[in-house]
């Protein structure tokens, strides 16, 4: 969109007015000082005659929890499961 705005023969003020968006939003966006909100970008795209299409996200694959754990973490979890739990003594505040 920055490229399209830079190539337009009309001023940024005229573009902002025509699109119905604040001039500071346009100038700060073109200068790289900020991004545009979705409603502002939508208005500018409509005025400029361009269509913004978000790229599709790749499909999510479900990874089993064990596959995400490293071998050391799996081993530590296995040892912890086998180890008997210690009972807390009366008044013991440790975890």
pLDDT digits (tens, 9 = 90+) for 7-53: 888 888 999 999 999 999 999 988 889 888 889 999 999 998 888 77
Query: What percentage of the chain carries pLDDT values higher than 70?
Result: 75
Residue 52: its pLDDT value, please? Answer: 72
Query: What's the pTM?
Result: 0.53
Q: What tokens does 18 get?
A: 């025509």
Token output for 44: 């500018």
CB contact at 8 A, 44 and 1: yes
Residue 66 has pLDDT above 70, yes or no: no
Residues 6+ apart with CB under 8 A from 12: 5, 23, 26, 27, 30
Task: State the virtual CA torsion across 30, 35, 39, 41 in degrees, nearest 10.
Answer: 40
| Averaged pLDDT for residues 62-83 | 69
């Amino acid at each position: 969109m920055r490229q399209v705005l830079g190539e337009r023969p009309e001023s940024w003020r005229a573009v902002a007015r025509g699109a119905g968006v604040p001039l500071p939003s346009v100038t700060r966006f073109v200068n790289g000082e900020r991004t545009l909100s979705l409603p502002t970008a939508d208005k500018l795209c409509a005025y400029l005659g361009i269509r913004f299409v978000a790229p599709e996200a790749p499909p999510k694959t479900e990874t089993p929890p064990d596959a995400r754990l490293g071998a050391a973490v799996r081993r530590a979890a296995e040892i912890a499961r086998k180890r008997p739990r210690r009972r807390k003594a009366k008044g013991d505040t440790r975890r």
